[in-house]
Amino acid sequence: MNGAFDVRFRKKNNMMLGIDISSTSVKLLEISRSNSGYRVESYALEPLPEGAVTEKDIKETEAVGQAIAKVVQKSRTKLKNAAVGVAGASVITKLIELSEDLDEDEMETQINLEADQYIPFPLEEVRLDFDVLGPSESHDGMVEVLLAACKSEDVESREDSLELGGLIAHEVDLEAEALQRSFRLIADDLGADLDSELPIAIVDIGHTTTTLTALQGSRNLYTREQLFGGKQLTEEIMRRYSMNVAEAGLAKKQNALPDDYQDEVLLPFMENVVQQVQRSLQFFYAATNFNDVAMVVLAGGTSSLPGLAELIEEKIGPRTVVANPFANMAVSSKANVTALTNDAPALMIACGLALRSFEDGKY
């Protein structure tokens, strides 16, 4: 996107870290590229204190900054520039059409003059950005333009957090765009036809939020978030087995829960996930002319639950797979391969942010 909320000043071959700030952790990813393909150079994750980030909103900048400093130290990266994402209620996107005869500066001028028609926030409180998607399918002589706006305070909180962690916010991107960038990297391996008449649904199931992104070709047709995620499973473990947050998380990772966990806790939660995915798809169908999708791609930490993809496919219908953006990447000796593999579905956004390092955008 042009300008990327006033922080996109990338120079050729100026490498950037992908920094994904979620509600539970900070994830750092460094990717390089050569003639033989991509390679993960470094990866690290640092948990965040509870409440430091709530629904994509940074509440404790200092705590996030400290976590960033820790992932930088753990990863042993030498890079200082970073790409970070924004999402949630503070981000507004709108598809508009402009004359194809306008150059970039003229488009920017016209958008600034007309932005108050599209943006429900006071313009002095937002950062604007736009991206030309291509010729309009319905009007000759026009191009489709994706207009994006984000509240300035949400951009600044990320810039400040990165600075506290010893990094520079070289680019602020939309998380949905980062997710799409990662998906294009693995689409062929998943057997996904980007030019299919039916869209592809990417369902990112995080700790507190589930996001459905519908893609068709190079277009993001639809994005919707709902408050649901792995937190519900953790809370049920805490309630049923009288554990605190740390104990519940450790018990899940070590598979050290009582015998009734699978049938009494995990399976009901997975069935709830299926219902949430189905509900998200129904909202998408109601908002568009589609009534089906070509496939469902699961991302986010919760998506790696064994059997979840199969259950969704069985109950809903479309082929369902779990994303792994590193399936065809080499891995440096600096990166922990086991941790990277286990966390792969949760690293789609971080991967997409790191891929912004490569100007030509060809994946």
- Name the token pair of 349: 């956004």
- Name the token pair of 299: 């991302």
Q: What HEC string does 130-185 produce?
A: EEEEEECCCCCCEEEEEEEEEEHHHHHHHHHHHHHCCCEEEEEEEHHHHHHHHHHH
Q: Quick one: pLDDT at residue 359?
A: 55
57 and 14 in a common domain: yes
241 and 133 in a common domain: no
Contact (Cβ atoms closer than 8 angstroms) between residue 72 and residue 165: yes
List the one residue out of 110, 120, 175 whose CA is nearest residue 151: 120
Q: Quick one: pLDDT at residue 11?
A: 36
- pTM of the predicted structure, to 2 decimals: 0.88
Which residue is listed with tokens 């693995």? 186
Strand partners, 204: 211, 299
25 and 172 in a common domain: yes
Task: Determine the structural domain holding residue 13 and report its residue range.
Answer: 1-188+326-363
The number of residues making up the chain comes to: 363
222 and 96 in a common domain: no
355 and 290 in a common domain: no
Question: Tens digit of pLDDT per residue, the chain (363 long)?
Answer: 443 344 333 334 479 999 999 999 999 999 999 888 999 999 999 999 989 998 889 999 999 999 999 999 999 999 999 999 998 777 888 888 999 999 888 998 888 888 888 888 888 888 888 888 888 888 888 998 888 888 899 999 999 999 999 999 999 998 988 998 999 999 988 888 878 889 999 999 998 899 999 998 777 888 889 999 999 999 999 999 999 988 898 888 788 899 999 999 999 999 999 999 999 999 999 999 999 999 999 999 999 899 999 999 999 999 999 999 999 999 999 898 989 999 999 999 999 999 999 854 333
- Name the token pair of 169: 């916010």
Strand partners, 171: 83
Q: What CA–CA distance (Å, rounded) separates 270 from 302?
A: 10
Q: Is 322 helix (H, G, I), strand (E, B) or coil?
A: strand
Instruction: Report the phi/psi class of residue 266: left, alpha or beta, with left for phi > 0 and alpha for psi in -120 to 50.
Output: alpha
54 and 105 in a common domain: yes
List the one residue out of 176, 180, 193, 186 whose CA is nearest residue 323: 186
DSSP assignment of 83-109 equals EEEE-STTEEEEEEEEETT--HHHHHH
- Name the token pair of 75: 């990863």
282 and 229 in a common domain: yes
236 and 104 in a common domain: no
352 and 285 in a common domain: no
Contact (Cβ atoms closer than 8 angstroms) between residue 228 and residue 222: no
297 and 251 in a common domain: yes
Domain total of the chain: 2
Which residue is listed with tokens 């129904």? 282
Q: Quick one: pLDDT at residue 6?
A: 41
CATH number of the domain within which 287 lies: 3.30.420.40
Which residue is listed with tokens 């900048």? 61
120 and 200 in a common domain: no
CA contacts within 13 A on the Cβ side of 318: 21
Contact (Cβ atoms closer than 8 angstroms) between residue 225 and residue 209: yes
138 and 26 in a common domain: yes
Cross-sheet strand order for the sheet of 91-99: 91-99, 142-151, 126-135
